[in-house]
Structure 1
């Protein structure tokens, strides 16, 4: 396109700035709707148990691949480094810190766009497999990292109660 051309760009060529909340809701939530529809189709084809295994493994592979790109050249060696890395991870959450020491952080997530979106889609079971359960995959990439969580918003609880800890080996 030459600089004298006054033809406006086509809509798909325009740069768009979306908030995370906008991305998670219509009309942009196609990836999430797609995951749910695919999951429900898998359930019909192979049964819920096998479908859940496939969904869980696929999500695990995707999340592990994502986190490997953030850790393989610069392994995480402390809880502080872990939180510096995951600051990119949860733009759609709100919560409050309950405890914070160099080797332990306890916080409660009280609002989560992932949980809200999958619940609105009538699929918190899929959301748990696709998003929440995958937090535990981080433990395989960071040997000193530990996680305890007994509640999730996705499963209808009042918060996600995270306790992250670091144990030197």
Structure 2
């Protein structure tokens, strides 16, 4: 049986939320959050590397738009995300997420800041796993109270393809 990413996040939260809150109480919020970001960053960077290799195996010209689009379909399964694709090319993928069940879940727990720490910050680590020529820009998130999340993935000019 396959478990959707949103269901995985809910299961993980049962352990991670009390763990992070205890770390914050013992170490202070800034130190605890830095440790969590480092640990999860290493994990998600590895996920990004595996994903990028799997999507681009035997391709001399990896298509950024197709790869990231497939990731959004995976993370959005079970109605976890609603989004509008703004741009999709071999060198760019831009999307506005207009509904996020991850944010709704953490807000219902009363822990949107932990949702941002545990879910939203991982997006940048995953992209680091794609390689140094791929960058993500995001200026706002639903988790932090914005109307939408604005994901902008780009291949750097002159990056190897």
Q: TM-score, normalised by structure 2?
A: 0.78
* Cα 1:18–1:52 shift into 2, 3 Å: closer
Name the counterpart of 1:120. 108
1:151 and 2:137 matched? no
State how far apart, in whole Å, the 1-side matches of 2:29 and 2:120 are: 18
Unaligned regions of 5+ residues in structure 2, if any? none
Taking the TM superposition and a 5 Å limit, the aligned residue runs for 1:67-106 are: 67-72=48-53, 74=57, 77-83=62-68, 85-86=70-71, 87-91=73-77, 92-106=80-94
Structure 1: 5+ residue stretches without partners: 1-14
Tell me how many residue pairs correspond in the alignment. 150
Q: 1:43/1:154 Cα in 2 relative to 1: closer, same or farther (>3 Å)? A: same
RMSD (CA atoms): 2.6
SS at match of 1:77: coil
Structure with bigger helix share is 2
- TM-score normalised according to structure 1 size: 0.74
Residues 20 and 139 (structure 1 numbering): CA distance in 2 closer, same or farther, change over 3 Å?
A: closer
Correspondence for 1:40: 21
Higher-RCO chain (CA-CA 8 Å, sequence separation at least 6): 2
How many angstroms does 1:48 deviate by? Answer: 0.6
Deviates more, 1:41-50 or 1:99-108: 99-108
Question: Counterparts of 2:140 and 2:125 in 1: how far apart (Å)?
Answer: 17
Cα pair distance change 1:20/1:85, threshold 3 Å: closer
Q: Structure 1 residue 37: deviation in Å?
A: 0.9
Secondary structure in 2 aligned to 1:131?
Answer: helix
Taking structure 1 as reference, are residues 165 and 18 closer, same or farther at Cα in structure 2, changes over 3 Å only?
A: closer
